[in-house]
Structure 1
């Protein structure tokens, strides 16, 4: 016998009570509780052994609760090392700024230690101003050795220029003597004397030009010697000569001192295209600051040229160029100019001036 179908669920029918009894099952009537062997609805199976109980996991990063009590007085262990997700946390001191603090080396910018060695500030060399070595580093012997080595590599040009100066000066003096009847006509003799002096000034500038090129690493040819500002050279040499004569009149010593301090006036004018007054001031300034060493150099130059003059003037063809190059070597040394090494004869332009203001 079957029961009628449920009007709200026509596809279902009540099971036969006898069927359940025959199968040995204890089926609860509809609306009762499920068998106790099933887990409660909405629950999850228990986690495997060894895992922490639910709710014991740490909260997400950055959500830690503030510690109880006052904040710690010092940094926590390991503070200062960068960790993934590390950031400012409530109750802890802020992280140190870059360039120092915990976990970073002390020193220069960015926390890096200072560089090794005794490096100077930018624009300095050897602990002093760039290109301005101290006087005790200068060697007179090295200066003359440099002059000799440069001269012997270009001796022919120097000899030709010196011979030209002697020949031209001799011709002017001869014409002056003939025209003035051996000096009896004063004004003619004076005119030729002035011409000979001006020519001598020009050759002084030519020697300065040649010596400057030698220290720059260039072998000057004959034409290069005369690549100078003639007007500036003549005026500078005239002012130096006039000051020397006036000083000699004033008990001699002032004239010697003036000539010594103004010795590089032509060199400054030729090398740096200065006007005559600036060249004289620059020479006074540099030589006066290094007077002791340069005075010894001047004595050596005078002595060597005296020896050259005693050798029937032939020795001057060697001693004059060597001493000119040696004194120009000293000029470049004390003013921070370029001194080409002896091993290189390639042309090299001097550095931009002034590399070091000493005047």
Structure 2
């Protein structure tokens, strides 16, 4: 005769809390079952994969990836604002560059040296100096040195687009001197050869120098050699000829205004024009001036 359990108690070996699911056996290897981990974060590549290579950089002259259309009026306004905040440094730099350029011309230019020896009380004493190989070589050396001196303004203008305030040292911290000298030689040779071509030579000089507008900036800013910088400038100008034409016209207008104001105006208009050109250069290569 079997004994019945007391009233209110479940039979022996019976779960007092009702039926439960059987326990899940552990997965092979002692790890939790699949699905117990959250999916990998989106910041990591899938297992066994490798991150894709970064996209190739666009060559100089490719359309800017950001920044919107370049407006010459905005460039001139930018130049004026930057000049106002650094007027003392820019005026001093222009004076120093002008003095150095005058000294170089006086030493290396046969025409300037001839004018220094003229007796202005006797107009008949004025003579055009004969062109010799020595004087031509001296003049060529002077032209290259003048090109380097004039590049100091581009150094300052490019530095101005990188930071809010510039110092006089930014103008004389010459970068890629060899590239600047070689570029001056190449441009000088091109102009010299074309000067002997009647009529079309002068037109060709204008066209070529138009496409070389940013060659010096590529040499200074990107450290390119002369030939690479010439190609970079050609592509950049060819992609935005209208903007470059308007920029050159603005520079010519500012220069004329400086001369009209008894040359003293050049202490203001020359810096504005230099900074405006650097601004356009930065925007056309896809960089944002500060």
Could you tell me the TM-score, scaled by structure 1's length?
0.56
1:235-265 alpha-carbon deviations (Å, 9 max, x no partner): 1123234335556743544332221221111
Shift in Å at residue 191 of structure 1?
Answer: 4.3
Please list, as runs of the form range in 1=range in 2, the aligned pairs for 1:1-359 lying within 5 A after superposition.
Answer: 40-47=1-8, 58=19, 60-61=21-22, 132-133=65-66, 137-175=69-107, 176=110, 177-178=112-113, 183-187=128-132, 189-217=135-163, 219-228=165-174, 229-244=176-191, 246=193, 249=197, 250=200, 252-340=202-290
Shift in Å at residue 46 of structure 1?
Answer: 4.3
1:113-170 alpha-carbon deviations (Å, 9 max, x no partner): xxxxxxxxx99xxxxx996326x53222221111111112222332233223333333
Unaligned runs of 5+ in 2: 25-32, 44-53, 56-61, 118-126
Paired residues of 1:169 and 1:196 also in contact (CA < 8 A) = no
Paired residues of 2:158 and 2:221 also in contact (CA < 8 A) = yes
Q: Distance in 1 between matches of 2:146 and 2:182?
A: 12
Say if 1:60 and 1:162 are closer, same or farther in 2 by CA, change over 3 A: closer
Which of structures 1 and 2 has the larger relative contact order (alpha carbons within 8 angstroms, sep 6+)? 2
Paired residues of 2:63 and 2:285 also in contact (CA < 8 A) = no
Structure 1 residue matching 2:66: 3-state secondary structure: coil
Say if 1:276 and 1:143 are closer, same or farther in 2 by CA, change over 3 A: same
Larger Rg: 1
Unaligned runs of 5+ in 1: 1-39, 64-86, 89-94, 100-107, 111-121, 124-128, 341-359
**Root-mean-square deviation (Å):** 3.8
Structure 2 residue matching 1:216: 3-state secondary structure: coil
Say if 1:243 and 1:42 are closer, same or farther in 2 by CA, change over 3 A: farther
Paired residues of 1:183 and 1:189 also in contact (CA < 8 A) = no
Shift in Å at residue 280 of structure 1?
Answer: 1.3
Paired residues of 2:97 and 2:150 also in contact (CA < 8 A) = no
Count matched residues: 243
Could you tell me the TM-score, scaled by structure 2's length?
0.68
More helix by share: 2
Q: Distance in 2 between matches of 1:315 and 1:245?
A: 32
